[in-house]
Amino acid sequence: MIKKEYPEEGELVVGTVAKVQNFGAFISLDEYPNREGFIHIAEIATGWVKRIRNHIKEKQKVVCKVMHVDRAKDHVDLSLKRVNEHQRRDKIQEWKNTQKSEKLMGMLAKQIGKNIEQCYQDFGNEIIKKYGLLYTAFEESAYDPDFLTNEGFKGDWIDGFAKIAKDSISAPFVEIRGQLIVNSWLPDGITHIRDALLIAEQSEFEDVGIKVKYVGAPQYMITVKAPDYKIAEDEMKKAVERIKESIKTHHGECEFHRKLEE
């Protein structure tokens, strides 16, 4: 696998706190072997930092933003305060996925009788170039064994790649939720509401699950489970539209509020 010697300015990096001093902290860069970065106390947290150890400690895993790189001096300036919680979670997950994909590549190399460097040269680097992360290909192959073949990749390694992916990675799924307020002013309105909600739970995709749960009239909770957020949001929109169209024909209305995940 081709690895850069230094991170780029603006990049988010995962590191382990090696040493904390009154003026800042030294960080061992986990993705760049033998490289170290430094967080000045002014970049530890927003506002005045009275005691730096209240914010950062030795051996702690952190996600930092690269502010400046001086290759001549072998110096990397980092910031902790410029990384929000969402960025931190995403970067940690990406780092974990990269570590896992490297282990899976080692398993594949052993299985097909090559060393891991050969595997990267033969197909790994091409996968990374196309998808950004090797883990993406493992994840997609776990979901669809023919993914790499359909994407134009060839070789006697593909079957082994797909099998390892299937055995080692759970197909990704996400859940999103929303609140429904459904009313019908007909005498048998409750029947029409029930029928509309049943229609909402129907999806054209086998890997999409839609469930509507009664909360307390006229409130209901709708949950969509799908392979990714884009599909989930699209299916949520379609489900709500089905309810609105159905209940409208029975002198009713539907109001929808997206419930954001905590």
**pLDDT tens-digit map of 30-51:** 999 999 999 999 999 999 999 9
Say whether pLDDT at 11 is over 50. Answer: yes
| φ and ψ of 238, to 5 deg | -65, -40
Q: Where are the beta strands (DSSP E) in 91-166?
A: none
Say whether pLDDT at 205 is over 50. Answer: yes
Higher per-residue pLDDT: 62 or 142: 62
First-to-last CA distance in the chain? 36
**pLDDT tens-digit map of 146-202:** 999 999 999 999 999 999 999 998 766 788 999 999 999 999 999 999 999 999 999
- Ordered structural domains, the chain, with CATH: 12-82 (2.40.50.140), 86-168 (1.10.150.190), 174-259 (3.30.70.1130)
Instruction: Report, as an integer, the average pLDDT of 113-133.
Output: 93
Report the chain's C-alpha Rg in angstroms: 25
Q: Assign 112 a pLDDT band (cuts: 50, 70, 90).
A: very high
Token pair for residue 19? Answer: 């040493």
Phi-psi region of 124 (alpha: psi -120 to 50; beta: other; left: phi over 0): alpha
Token pair for residue 130? Answer: 């196309």
Say whether pLDDT at 227 is over 90. Answer: no
Q: In the chain, what percentage of residues exceed pLDDT 90?
A: 83
> Residue 172 has what pLDDT?
65
Instruction: Report, as an integer, the average pLDDT of 221-227.
Output: 92
